[in-house]
A and B are shown apart, each in its own frame.
Chain A
Amino acid sequence: IVLTQSPATLSLSPGERATLSCRASQSVSIFLAWYQQKVGQAPRLLIYDASNRATGIPARFSGSGSGTDFTLTISSLEPEDFAVYYCQQRSNWPLTFGGGTKVEIK
């Protein structure tokens, strides 16, 4: 299953709303996760099963969608949120990641 993330880069200012998209080449039901990765660090799990926040993840992060279309929303960007975000499906083997969306400071 191919996961296509868009846009590749999102240029926003702190306090703005970020909307990231992940589209699957076939249905993955709700079996999609979102990760955040900062430069030089390991990925961090944000959202699992499309809409569930992982432990310790702030409420400004939310996920939605099912089937083939998914969205990660950051309601109001904090300085620490500028990073690369990846989606990952667990519906079918092999597990796959999207190509990533970089959220950069405008």
Chain B
Amino acid sequence: EVQLLESGGDFVQPGGSLRLSCVASGFTFSSYAMTWVRQAPGKGLEWVSIISGSGGSTYYADSVKGRFTISRDNSKNTLFLQMNSLRGEDTAVYFCAKDFLGSSHTFDIWGQGTMVTVSS
């Protein structure tokens, strides 16, 4: 069964850092781009970042560029999101998702999400 399991969400003060993880199973992880999408409480979906299957290409939303870093360890089937200089507006459920066809930038498998709360 294809599965994604996020972890690492927590309560953190503004200016703090957090590292999210997403462990994948049931597919050839290195063959697929992976993405992070977030959802603030009661709001819609916001794309955050994406990384190619090899890890050689990354893209970011303007709202997180320079503060967040996406990476992956294909030997451990794990996706990461390093979040620095956190702000209140980063408060959200963070979902990781698998690319549908490898690099189609459409996402067919999603994790259950991990909650990040940024507050003093």
Contacts and interface: CB of A to CB of B under 8 A. Distances in A.
Given A43-B95, A90-B104, A96 B110 contact: no
Interface residues of B, number: 23
Contacts, number: 57
B114 to A, nearest CB: 11
Contacts of B59: 93-95
Secondary structure class of chain B's binding surface, majority of residues: strand
A95 B111 contact: no
B26 interface: no
B107 A45 contact: yes
Interface of A: 33, 35, 37, 42-45, 48-49, 54-55, 86, 88, 90, 93-100
Interface of B: 35, 37, 44-47, 50, 59-62, 95, 97, 100, 104-108, 110-113
